[in-house]
Structure 1
């Protein structure tokens, strides 16, 4: 047995060549070529400020090569990270349906929230989304000319500062690129809708060794069509799914309901449409069957990099990243409910019940009638546009035995939300009801009246800017019997500025835009100064230590100090242990502290716990207003927020029992204190006694809104284990076979919804209280894994993936006892490279056409399933052609 080869393979594994079916390839390729003794390059490893050999890392890191991802049909950062088992859930574009702010495709390591996963490009920060300001939108990161993705599954605030509690995701570009190429991809779901296309043009010129420079760039354009609820059997019934206990319909219907009396058409078919159903003398509209469950998205990105060799020891580097995305969300037609400002039909209207056009209704005795009315102006369309830019000028090299890295960067992200169709001017509705020109029960004499009342325009804007300077110097400072002691010291200065504004003209006339028109523009800024240091200490030949510490000083809430210590012990050539302990923090973002207050309809329908207790009007309650209704929810920032703080402990082992088989196990234990989040609407309505202070009422006692402003909640504790298995066969006349499994088991996940409150278990069930910065709850699944079988022969590559997600106890907001079943997906792809300069990939995603597991979750606009944990697209065919020259 070649023990040197085994040792090198193990060391490669320790630095992250684990997972997604490509880790083993990287491990074994490294091992097979090791006998030639190539020059070992000192590089910067994610999670350390000291350049060195990657095998020296004591932290669990997964390395994903993007060229292998392309063979699996994965061409976006969101797809690449969704298969990482440590990534408990992804917030995808589908999560944006029905909520302002646009596309938010985010990673969420350890299930602690996307705002506690730090995303970097070449070790430096990117601009967060402007409407959230706490996490990077993955759709802004193009994978073209990205060499690899490094996922550090360990706390790293001692190295990077804020946000690195759950882990770090670092996108690493190619060092240089020569030549050019173009690629095109098509995506075609079997059931219609969701057709996608992507085009990439890339190229580079120059050699650092021969010409002293290299420049390259890549531009990518992609677009995906929307999917309507009616196009998928899972969602086609909208909010009426009896076997799940769902009957989520709206009192805002057409023909309109009359508050306190009923509907004149309730006994006549409610307008003869399948979207309406009569219930208790009223008509109820199934709004969730009339939405787009997947929005239309359109993205463009450009990534460019230039490197100039100044001397034999120093390079000047420039990077530019530009990305823009447009998301078009489609929801049910506009609604006008009797909350705050009522909508009335007077007795003088020709459409008043009993006057010859509209059927008579008992109780309509000439008094004005309050209405709950649904627009006939078509579905509401909201267009959210995001733009992101980052420019970096840096210097890298060595002087006097010091490795030096420094740079200045400027990042900016802007966003705006515009109403582009179906939104109706509320004032015109009131006017046309009052003057008798609008029929709220059927066709008006003026057939174009609904279209004439439409209003469009920009509803809100936001902008985030960040200017940063960093400097790091590292070198060996002392030689011990076991080797050199590495030392690094560095500093970072950053200035952030955030602002948000809304258009009062549009928002005052389009009440359902969910923006309070009386809210003033909001803004905030902060300065950060940081100093950090790190030591790499070879205690013995088999035992190395990493000691790091960082001090951060924020001008708006104070300072924080965070240390880290990690050990790596290799007692035998086939066995290695690693462990670490660190503290971390997350500063409340400028958005979280200064976000303007807004009001929007709740995602689900609820009963007022006072005026409609148990679903029956009481104490002067009104069924149409107070029962099974969407109420207003107030959301906003909080300038009194304090930082979240964390403690993280990890322990892992990597073992190679026989040649080409690598096993790994890494235990993690994390506690987060003072977590920032929202009390979910489900929690507020389910326990009105506990959250009595969240109910804000009008003078007449009716519910004005529930208060869901951000606040510091209690603590969160989680622990579990990452497991990895990798095997690769020798090369034979039939090719080479590889197998990998990357899984995460969550042993414990407990949280407090308030300071010093009771601990609640979150594993294996939906948690409405666990908002993690969003209004909706979340799921912490017990087990998730990704398995991959890969076969290579000559110019052929075949890949089969299995993704498994353990089922969980459903939300059961209405007292059901439903469990969401286990969920397994298979993807199959094949690649052929036998044509000169050409690579062809064909494949099928969701090979078995597995439908999303049924769910009665009501925190999302989509009903019948949860879009964050399942694939609504169904079986999807894809093809990709890349030509390089």
Structure 2
């Protein structure tokens, strides 16, 4: 008989999960079910037993990683499980925070990023990239959340509706299809409620700004210090779940509404993020685009480069000094504001004793603002006419006369002026997502019991973006190009010649004169963007066994699962004209619209073959095989397969291992990315003055090395005359290279599950993995191209310098080709450890101990096929990106007291120390005169970090109260010098650290209440 898809409020876990999952994570194996019945009668144990009650039929279960349903299933794939209790203790309101706290997950898009944020939240297993992690809801594929980054958006999943999360790390493409290279994250949602559940939680950050090194940096530059104690980043979440069974008991309807809001936190509110940090000892840096303005002047042949700053309060030019850099950090959001509304309904109806119809509908609207420092003239004005009446006599002398220009000539002058009058740039992002799933599931008899699931799925996501307070490059050039009209008034040249009568003069050449508000109104230009993704899926699976198909050496039949699936994906991305033409100064280049679609047809099958059972040393030995064929309209068809072996020696020891072939086909963006120039690289080894006093101002490549580059080969005298970008931002040429092929990944695993009889209620899992991804769909990366060229003479044809200045950042004519193509490979090895122990404290209740840890053995990256490799294990930096510590773990001790069901929890999150990669330290050559090694541009190493989280729950009648403090000791994150605001530009970071890995905002306090009726 089919069971209605139901779960009791307050006890949502089935018996199979009750102990196998415990609170944090655990192996999945059948022996756990037998451990539920403990010989004790105290209140704590009764509470634990009650948590394991369920109406779910344990006759056949399915675990993420296989579609075969079987009784007494022992998972052949490593599965980590996070349940509802862990969500409550962590105070989770954003799903990204729950996932990022796991040792297998790494930083990606999320709410603590502002500059370059898409407004989405993504999951990145094993640090192989969010595009290589497949996300499911109830075993069915999620749709893309944004057309610019076509991967699922975790903001569409309401944390209050999550029953548990099942995570399979390692290849799973044979079971679920493309994208499951790093693994699968499967969100199992609550269903089938009968009653009403109302939940509210309030949280905020409470931090003490007592970082003396940071405060010293701010004082040294005269920057404002934040308050000594701050309470900010307030959050509120309210959820309502209402459900009821039909009068005849054959159906259920469940409705939910979840609302959350988060307040923004600026970098100015933390002492370690109130300025951009660089150098060692660390000091406040900034951008050369400042107010008053800065200028780079050249002669007609782009020689004789000279840097000037506008005198504060005047119109004379002075040499740049420490005050010539703009502190953009205080404006940037450290936590974006967010408003999220999720609505949904779930229905199920028993058609007959063997068939159930179901339908799920969800709607989410998520709005956030990515606020960063004001826009400006970022060298987007590159000439000044010598007869411009706005110029002072000193400016005419230095820009024109000293550079050999005549009174009516046009001088080569790059202007860098920050729009402090116009206010911060505001990226207003709204995502709207809808998803509908409907289907039939049931059972039938054919030489055994079989189950089936026939379903359809329609989903879409829209983004609407309004980018405010940016400046038009076209209007900047017109507004600074002034002349005198017939009446002697200073006006725009375009007003006199009639090409733009609306132009208003923008006088940035005299700091004693206030900028005309009408000029700002003229230059400020909003950018508008809209996009949409669509997904349609039709699928059917059948699972079961032939009762008479049993090997002579086994006692249970061979299990099978078969299925077909047809999926279509569509995407369109429509920026307005200001984006498309690259006219917005603060964007770093053009944003080009794109679109596309593909569809695929797949067939797949699995079998689970019991080989040996009920024999000495061979309690249960089974082989699991799987195959999937995928026929894409956009690329070559793919074949994925797996072979896994599970050997249970007895009821205590289980060994598992095997091989998976996984694939990832190129997504629509990768297939159709248009050609455009935008920000890409972080360095230019050939830029700088070799005679500069400071090491950081010198080129890191020799003149001979730079002549591998065609520009320097033709212009050897240009070495030493190419400007560095103080913000560490250089141009790249983006786009798609034709002929992309799917990536391939080979995954090998070997593990054990041990539940010793001599330690009651204890289990341990140890799983080794080895994953190699080849033919990566990626870019070589601008910094890799430059290093390969100057160190090895490779890829030099991908470097295109401005023919006049040799620059890779002044204007749009200099760039490094970073187009998408099939590149090199990544090989990662590691070990996952899981331990669970439950013990009775007699009259003092019960204690649960859970540990989930990940030990990285190696991460070898080969960006360019056939070239050098580097190992990112225990590293971070320009090559390796975010920190990849050798060891990370999450340990939770949970005390179930005998005092009226009160529970307390203490968690320990540990992040191992890391060292900077070689690329980040490549400029550390000894000084030729003193022999001293100069300071690194980033920290040589980051220490290990431990965070402690405290939580408590108190039930009272129909209510349950909870409270907690995460980062109990208010530990500051590591401060990483980068020189551009984000640590190591281009790496997922913000505010001089990595806020998606470390706790960037300090101590988090939350309190909540749940009511069941």
Common topology (TM > 0.5): yes
Aligned to 2:366: 325
Aligned counterpart, 1:383: 428
Other-structure match for 1:291: 332
Distance 1:352 1:530 in 2: 71
Aligned to 1:56: 74
| Aligned counterpart, 1:147 | 163
Task: Specify the structure having the higher radius of gyration (Cα).
Answer: 2
1:3-152 equivalences under 5 Å are 17=21, 20=24, 31-33=35-37, 40-53=58-71, 55-95=73-113, 97-99=114-116, 102-152=118-168
| More displaced stretch, 206-215 vs 794-803 | 206-215
* Residue 217 (structure 1) aligns with: 255
Q: Relative to structure 1, is the Cα distance of residues 91 and 806 closer, same or farther in structure 2, using a 3 angstrom cutoff? A: farther
Secondary structure of 1:733's aligned partner: helix
Contact 2:894 2:906 survives alignment (8 Å) = yes
2-structure distance, mates of 1:98, 1:681: 19
- The one of 966, 971, 976 equivalent to 1:845 is 966
Partner of 1:663: 764
CA distance in 2, matches of 1:710, 1:844: 44
What is the CA–CA distance in structure 1 between the aligned matches of 2:33 and 2:232, rounded to whole Å?
Answer: 38
Query: In the alignment, what sits opposite 1:439?
Result: 507
1:407 aligns with 2:439: no
The residue that corresponds to 1:206 in the other structure is 244
Residue correspondences, number = 858
Q: Equivalences for 1:368-517 in 2 at 5 Å?
A: 370=413, 371-376=415-420, 377-400=422-445, 401-420=449-468, 422-435=469-482, 436=490, 437-441=505-509, 442=511, 444=513, 447-449=516-518, 451-453=520-522, 455-477=524-546, 478-480=549-551, 481-505=554-578, 508=581, 509-516=583-590
Residue by residue, what CA displacement relative to the aligned partner does 1:373-393 show, whole Å, maximum 9, x if unpaired? Answer: 211211111112222221111
Specify the SS of the correspondent of 2:471.
coil
* Residue 662 (structure 2) aligns with: 584
Structure 2 contact 63–75 (Cα < 8 Å) conserved: yes
Distance change (3 Å), C-alpha of 1:238 and 1:132: same
What is the CA–CA distance in structure 2 between the aligned matches of 1:574 and 1:15, rounded to whole Å?
A: 15
1:693-720 CA deviation, whole Å, 9 max, x = no partner? 3322333253322222222121111111
Going from structure 1 to structure 2, the CA distance change for 1:525 and 1:602 (only over 3 Å counts) comes to closer
**How much does 1:330 deviate?**
1.5
Contact 2:20 2:26 in 1 (8 A): no
State the alpha-carbon separation in 1 of the partners of residues 374 and 538 from structure 2. 49
> Residue 45 and residue 329 in structure 1: after superposition, are their counterparts in 2 closer, same or farther (change >3 A)?
same
Question: 1:640 aligns to what SS in structure 2?
Answer: coil
The match for 1:549 is 627
What SS does the aligned partner of 1:201 have?
strand
Return closer, same or farther for 1:135/1:310 CA change in 2, 3 Å cut-off.
Answer: same
With normalisation by structure 1, the TM-score equals: 0.89
Note if contact 2:874-2:886 (Cα within 8 Å) is conserved in structure 1.
Answer: yes
Q: CA deviation at 1:270?
A: 9.7
SS of 2:904's equivalent in the other structure is strand
Q: Give the Cα separation in 2 of the matches to 1:360 and 1:224.
A: 53
Deviation digits for residues 628-682 of structure 1, max 9, x if unmatched?
3533233333342211101111111111231122121111111111112233344
Cross-structure match for 1:723: 833
**Superposed CA offset, 1:110-167 (max 9, x none):** 2211111110001111111323444212122112232211111232111111011111
Structure 1 equivalent of residue 916 of structure 2: 810
Structure 1 Cα separation of the partners of residues 827 and 430 of structure 2: 36
**DSSP-derived class of the 1:833 partner:** strand
State the SS of the aligned residue for 1:69.
helix
Deviation sequence 1:309-345 (CA, Å, 0-9, x none): 1111111111112222222111121121335x52536
1:852–1:450 CA distance, 2 compared to 1 (3 A): farther
- Residue 638 of structure 2 is aligned to residue 560 of structure 1: yes
SS in 2 for 1:112: coil
Is structure 2 residue 876 aligned with structure 1 residue 755?
A: no
Q: Structure 1: how far apart are the matches of 2:331 and 2:558?
A: 64
Report the Cα distance in structure 1 between the residues aligned to 2:561 and 2:333, rounded to whole angstroms: 52
Q: Does 1:243 align with 2:281?
A: yes
For 1:616 and 1:451, locate their aligned partners in 2 and report how far apart those are by CA, in whole Å.
37
> Structure 1: where are the runs of 5+ without partners?
1-10, 771-776
1:680 aligned residue:
781
Return the alpha-carbon distance in structure 2 between the equivalents of residues 248 and 21 of structure 1: 43
CA distance in 1, matches of 2:60, 2:800: 60
TM-score (norm 2): 0.78
Distance 1:168 1:327 in 2: 27
* 2:603 is the counterpart of 1:528: no
**In 2: Cα distance, 1:86 partner to 1:303 partner:** 30
Bigger mean CA deviation after superposition, 172-181 or 388-397: 172-181
Give, in whole Å, the separation in 2 of the partners of 1:54 and 1:77.
31
Q: Is the 8 A contact 1:654 1:663 kept in 2?
A: yes
Q: CA deviation at 1:55?
A: 3.2
CA distance in 1, matches of 2:681, 2:342: 32
Does the 8 A contact of 2:530 with 2:573 survive in 1?
Answer: yes
Q: Is residue 733 from structure 1 mapped to residue 751 from structure 2 by the alignment?
A: no
Show the counterpart of 1:873: 1001
RMSD: 3.5
Give the corresponding residue for 1:159. 175
Distance in 2 of aligned mates of 1:688 and 1:563: 39
